[in-house]
A = this chain, B = another copy of it.
Amino acid sequence: MYVILVYDVGEKRVGKMLKLCRKYLSWIQNSVFEGELSELQVKDLKAKADRIMKENDSLILFSSRHERWLEKEIVGCEKASTDNFI
Contacts and interface: CB of A to CB of B under 8 A. Distances in A.
Interface in A32-86: 32, 46, 49-50, 53, 55-65, 69-79
Interface residues of A, number: 34
B74 A29 contact: no
Contact of A60 (B28, B55, B61, B64): B28
A4 to B, nearest CB: 6
A18 interface: no
A interface: dominant SS: strand
A30 B17 CA distance: 15
List the 4 shortest-distance A-B pairs measured between CB atoms, nearest first. A59-B75, A8-B30, A69-B69, A58-B77
